[in-house]
Amino acid sequence: MQPSLDLVFAALSDPTRRRILTMLLEDDMAVTDVADPFDMSLAAISKHLVILTRAGLISQEKRGRLKWCKLEPDALREASVWMQGFGQFEAINLDAFERFLEQELADFDES
């Protein structure tokens, strides 16, 4: 069963969660590394990760003592396909979207 689009769009509505997804574009990350750039508790970041996981946007797995997060882009593809169905939107180029997110990450790293 695929996560509902409601969960995907709700997860994407928060800027912290979008920033986490941008960070995960680069590579898988340990939860503690995901939390580092944020001015919030590990518990608060964990809540954001749960929402992203339930939406199918990331997966988490335990490797040794650490929990790791991995971007799962299929949920974004399904949202893109849904939006294209309206016809009033231009087709979303996922490669261009990925480049946009990579640029966002680069801009974030510079600040």
pLDDT tens digit sequence for 66-89? 999 999 988 888 888 887 777 665
CATH fold, domain 5-110, is Arc Repressor Mutant, subunit A (1.10.10)
Amino acid type, 86: F
What pLDDT, on the 0 to 100 scale, is given for residue 71?
A: 95
pLDDT tens digit sequence for 20-72? 999 999 899 999 999 999 999 999 999 999 999 999 999 999 999 999 999 99
Delimit the domains of the chain by residue range. Answer: 5-110
> Around 76, how many Cα atoms within 13 Å sit in the side-chain half-sphere?
18
Whether the pLDDT of residue 15 is over 60: the answer is: yes
